[in-house]
Structure formats: structure tokens, C-alpha cells
Amino acid sequence: MDGEKIIRWQRKRSGKAEEIHHILKDELGGGHVPSKRFGANAAWWTIAVLALNLHNLMKHRLLPEEYGKSRPKSLRFLLYTMVGK
């Protein structure tokens, strides 16, 4: 690609990586490692990534369109607490 197309592409996706990293670390527990062992922490991070992927799949395939932009924490309070009521 030429330089101008690359710059436009970068500006369109600006901020998405930081947002996803924030969701993984703060909302799905990826920022808190459970052990001093590398393998256990790698498994913990993998589970957090899997949870994010399942959350996105559920938002786009199973839930109504109004939940399309919801984050894991808000979805937890909206839907999962409904079961408790």
C-alpha cells in the first residue's frame, strides 16, 4: 500500500487495541496473575482471552442488537443478575 492508505487505515483503527487490552486486564481478570509460575499465568491469560472471544461471539450472534456495544462488566450486571432475581 502507499503511505496515505496506511495512515488512513491506522487512524480508523486507532484506540481499539488499547480498549481491548483494558477490557482484558480490568474486566476479565487478566491483570491479576494467580501464581508465580509462568505456565499457570499463561493459562490464566489464555482463559481471559477466550472469555473475551466468547463475549464478542455472544454479543454478535446470540443477544439482541441493543447489547451490541456492551462490555463484559455491563453485560454481567444486565443479564447475569437477572437470573438471580
The whole-number pLDDT of residue 22 equals: 87
Query: In the chain, what are the domain boundaries?
Result: 3-84
Helix residue spans in 1-85 (DSSP H): 3-12, 16-22, 38-57, 72-75, 81-84
Q: How many CB atoms within 10 Å of residue 30?
A: 21
10-residue block means of pLDDT along the chain (85 residues)?
Answer: 83 77 87 88 92 89 83 80 75
Buried b (16+ CB within 10 A) or exposed e, 61-79: eeeeeeeeebebeebeeee
The whole-number pLDDT of residue 53 equals: 92
The whole-number pLDDT of residue 14 equals: 67
What does the block give as the cell for 29?
A: 481478570
Q: Which amino acid would we find at residue 9?
A: W
pTM of structure: 0.70
